[in-house]
Structure 1
């Protein structure tokens, strides 16, 4: 493999790790770059390979958040379990069928998310909800199962969807949503990654250097998010959602 390809992939992976640590959506950076630079590789191989840097960056970002942000461990462990199982199933299905039919639906959903987040200035700043423990666990299982499956089957934007779910359904603010979403996303990465490793879908030559760069980006992004707080994360979240819309628009309307 040409050296310049690995260099470009590593640069994309660093930026992806940085963005993902703040607001999710790192896959929107490294996934299209990998598809462009490695056009002859099967999509399932690329998706499997990109799970390695995604796992590394999410792990390092999670460690940074754990030092500073309070976690609901009972809820998180339950969500992590269901997220991992759902992602394993989603990745298995991805190896059998195409996921293109989901893109128009996601496009419509994200337009609504972008408009709502932009217009509601206090969204994710302070969202107290009086939820019983049982209801919170039920919602957590629902969130982690649906988005975990999405992560395994489609992938890009998973962190953003988790943040949105933590805010709108569980009443977390942006900082706590981003921190908790990282751990749930980590579990879905493990589930998906397990399936891809079993099926031999990892291109280790590019996965390992990308993992180092993604980890560095995740470390820097998490530190910045903790320092800057909710409004900073909200702005990044909007940027990521708009970026997702642009990417989906290309796939739906222009890609042959």
Structure 2
């Protein structure tokens, strides 16, 4: 499809802002996917192109965290493998399974994540003792959340983060760094299937990828320098925003009928 320079410029800056937010709290797709649809990209290709550009952003943040010593990839290799396999299975399964049930459950999960970070005691500055074995965590969390990202996607970063904090007992900064590694893994797994199907629009995806890469780098720097002072409120905000967006999309007609009762 033909895309004007003005539209590409707009998508570049949207991807940059999304990458910045995504590196800290997840939810960047709330900006990029609607922007792609508004630019006239068909829904299936919009999903594939969004995975293409978000893969560069998550790689940028992941590379920064690894280079600054917040993540040891050798320690995460089992979780990475399980996440990749889970996301690949999810990307295949979504073609055959009705996603409506899962779609209806996700807003409630995102609200619970928001409440957890809002009401739970201040998270630790340093990691505590993990209550689940490394192998079980990799299989259950890496494989399970990876499957969800390949199958559906919204809120993956927030779900990974809360699992690392609540189950893995990592500090919020360490949890955020590990989240980006697994988020990048699931992005690549899903993107692989989209590329095989020939769905991404490369011109748009690569322009957005540059913006997302730059934005994610700045976001990762904020995580390292500001820590949980910025991450915690952003996770709450993005989780609640995603939940409300999904609820509106699922029950728009009901909300409109309620609003009409108050219209005189």
Rounded Cα–Cα distance in structure 2 between residues aligned with 1:124 and 1:157: 23
**In the TM superposition, what is the alpha-carbon distance from 1:121 to its structure 2 partner?**
3.8
Q: Name 1:109's counterpart in structure 2.
A: 109
The answer to whether the 8 A contact 1:125-1:231 is kept is: no
Larger Rg over CA atoms: 2
Q: Name 1:151's counterpart in structure 2.
A: 149
Q: Name 1:203's counterpart in structure 2.
A: 201
Q: Name 1:13's counterpart in structure 2.
A: 15
**In the TM superposition, what is the alpha-carbon distance from 1:46 to its structure 2 partner?**
1.5
What per-residue deviation string (whole Å, max 9, x for no partner) do you get for residues 153-188 of structure 1? 112321111111111110011100011111111111
What per-residue deviation string (whole Å, max 9, x for no partner) do you get for residues 6-36 of structure 1? 2222222111100111111211221122223
**In the TM superposition, what is the alpha-carbon distance from 1:71 to its structure 2 partner?**
2.5
**In the TM superposition, what is the alpha-carbon distance from 1:126 to its structure 2 partner?**
5.2
Rounded Cα–Cα distance in structure 1 between residues aligned with 2:244 and 2:79: 30
The answer to whether the 8 A contact 2:79-2:137 is kept is: no
Cα separation, partners in 2 of 1:141 and 1:72, compared to 1, 3 Å? farther
User: Any residues of structure 2 matched to 1:205-244 within 5 Å, and which?
Assistant: 205-244=203-242
Corresponding residue pairs, total? 252
What per-residue deviation string (whole Å, max 9, x for no partner) do you get for residues 89-125 of structure 1? 2122334455343222111112222122111241355
**Root-mean-square deviation (Å):** 2.0
Gaps of 5+ in 2: 255-264
Which contiguous aligned blocks of 4+ residues in structure 1 show a shift greater than 4 angstroms? 124-127
User: Any residues of structure 2 matched to 1:1-256 within 5 Å, and which?
Assistant: 1-3=2-4, 4-38=6-40, 41=42, 43-97=43-97, 99-123=99-123, 125=125, 128-131=128-131, 135-254=133-252
Cα separation, partners in 2 of 1:93 and 1:38, compared to 1, 3 Å? farther
Gaps of 5+ in 1: none
SS at match of 2:147: helix
**In the TM superposition, what is the alpha-carbon distance from 1:136 to its structure 2 partner?**
2.3
Rounded Cα–Cα distance in structure 1 between residues aligned with 2:10 and 2:101: 30
Cα separation, partners in 2 of 1:240 and 1:229, compared to 1, 3 Å? same
The answer to whether the 8 A contact 1:69-1:176 is kept is: no
SS at match of 1:201: coil
The answer to whether the 8 A contact 2:90-2:147 is kept is: yes
**In the TM superposition, what is the alpha-carbon distance from 1:72 to its structure 2 partner?**
4.4
SS at match of 1:73: coil
Rounded Cα–Cα distance in structure 2 between residues aligned with 1:216 and 1:84: 25
